[in-house]
Amino acid sequence: MARTTGRRDRAATTGGDVQRRIRAAAQPARATAAVSVLAAALLLVSACATGTGSDGGSAGPSATDGGPTSGTPGTADRTDGAWALTSGEVDGAALTVTGGAPVTLLVEDGRVSGTSGCNTYTASLDTSDGWSVGDIGLTRMACEPAAMALEKAYLDALAEVDAAALTVGGLELTGPDVTLTFAADPNAA
């Protein structure tokens, strides 16, 4: 009887050893796969972040040649970022911005978007020859008449903008009979 028990113990131990060896062999493969995925992700992120052109310079247009670049609003050479309208003038009439109807502008990746007093909007942005906003798409909520009037005036003005300039701590968009003045948006995430 002692021999039978020994064989069972040895068989159980041998089967257990095989399972442990299989698990031990699989662990390095899992670790290698995880490291490979992490390395690929880091490589992708770093490639996107550095984005250099064939001449070793920046991959896209810069504020010095009329186009936006990625960055924090308010720095000396950047128009991309999140902005909040502080004042505006259209055909000599002031745009009245109220706290209850914020107007924001997010400039990034060749697009503009934001809130227009009531609804949210989005449009393409062409900076190849000045500053030109494409057809504007927006949500269609109804708001108080003052917010709706502000929204219409702002979106009409935005469609007329043909130039962008950085000011101390702000962004100024101008066009024929249009001036929109923005400050860095403190509420942007």
Kindly list the averaged pLDDT for each block of 10 residues, start to end, along the chain of length 189: 48 54 54 45 36 36 36 50 94 86 93 96 94 95 92 96 92 96 85
Contacting residues for 154 by C-beta, under 8 A, at least 6 apart: 85, 88, 95, 103, 116, 117, 180
* pLDDT at res. 134: 95
**Side chain identity at residue 172, one-letter code:** E
| Among 154, 60, 146, CA closest to 99 | 146
* pLDDT at res. 24: 56
Q: Which pair of structure tokens corresponds to residue 145?
A: 């008449």
Please report where in the chains the tokens 């050479």 appear, as a residue: 77
In this structure, whether the domain defined by 66-184 belongs to CATH 2.40.128.270 is answered with: yes
* pLDDT at res. 28: 53
CB-CB contact of 121 with 113 (8 Å): yes
Q: What are phi and psi of 127, to 5 degrees?
A: -115, 15
Q: Using the Cα atoms of residue 56, residue 132, residue 135 and residue 107 in order, give the sign of their dihedral.
A: positive
| CB-CB neighbours of 183 under 10 Å | 16
* pLDDT at res. 101: 84
Residues written for the chain: 189
Rounded distance between C-alpha atoms, residue 157 and residue 36, angstroms:
50
CB-CB contact of 186 with 104 (8 Å): no
Rounded distance between C-alpha atoms, residue 73 and residue 84, angstroms:
11
* pLDDT at res. 108: 93
pTM for the model stands at: 0.60
* pLDDT at res. 26: 52
Q: Identify the H or E element spanning 109.
A: none
| Among 139, 142, 181, CA closest to 158 | 181
